[in-house]
Amino acid sequence: MFGPLARLARHHLVALRMLLLFTALTGVVYPLVVTGFAQAVFPGRANGSLIEEHGRPVASSRIGQNFTVPAARGHRGPAAPDPGWFQPRPSAAGPAGYDPTASGASNLGPNSPELVRTVRLRRLAVAAFDRVPPGRVPPDAVTASASGLDPDISSGYAYEQVPRVAAARGLAPAAVRRLVARHAHGRTLGFLGSPGVNVVELNHALGHRSAVLR
């Protein structure tokens, strides 16, 4: 009578040992090894690719953000873009955009009348803001990324904004253009994606006049 119960107990004991072993391996050892490797080889990325100002984290170069004029007290409408900063692409992540807790797209398809109308209005707004013909507005200036958090814009959109940023800051357009060129990057691994500029890193450098005038 005790034979089957003893065998059952042994099977359960073996299963319990395997559970504890793999819990330790996959839940403790593996995360520690991966974390240690990342901290040793890619410490900046492992810690969130943080951008610091006077020793204090102010942004992450992996997450885009809005660069707007501070809203007046009691203002309830959308914040206005600040002409003195390079502007990112639109974002559908959260009501104000670029909300890491609400990453995602609008899920509107190319046949959606709402999307067509939104893109048309965005194109007119960007053209007026940058003082260029609507036909010169790049696609990424009027369309959001799938994540809604993409910090990159195309090189074309970055250079389109140079005259406006330079005028707002009283800088020479050539100096601002050189700053953009220094922050431009190629395709990932040489063939993935498109060349572009990280707006967060670019604006961080723009905030330091010495970096612009180099």
Co-location of 175 and 134 in the same domain: yes
Q: Report the pLDDT value the prediction gives residue 70, as an integer from 0 to 100.
A: 79
Average pLDDT over the chain, rounded to an integer? 88
Q: Report the pLDDT value the prediction gives residue 58, as an integer from 0 to 100.
A: 80
- Host domain of residue 160: 49-67+82-212
| Number of compact structural domains in the chain | 2
Co-location of 103 and 181 in the same domain: yes
Co-location of 132 and 190 in the same domain: yes
Is 163 a member of any domain? yes
Co-location of 24 and 88 in the same domain: no
Co-location of 25 and 124 in the same domain: no
Co-location of 126 and 197 in the same domain: yes
* Dist CA 153 CA 5 (whole Å): 67
* Amino acid at position 208, single letter: H
Query: Residue 161: which of 69, 89, 77 has the closest Cα?
Result: 89
Q: How many residues does the chain have?
A: 214
Co-location of 41 and 107 in the same domain: no
Q: Report the pLDDT value the prediction gives residue 177, as an integer from 0 to 100.
A: 96
Cβ atoms within 10 A of the Cβ of 176, count?
A: 24
Residue ranges of the chain with pLDDT lower than 50? none
Q: Report the pLDDT value the prediction gives residue 124, as an integer from 0 to 100.
A: 97
Co-location of 136 and 162 in the same domain: yes
Q: Report the pLDDT value the prediction gives residue 7, as an integer from 0 to 100.
A: 79
* Dist CA 212 CA 181 (whole Å): 11
| Whether pTM exceeds 0.85 | no
- Whether the CB-CB separation of 118 and 126 falls below 8 Å is answered with no
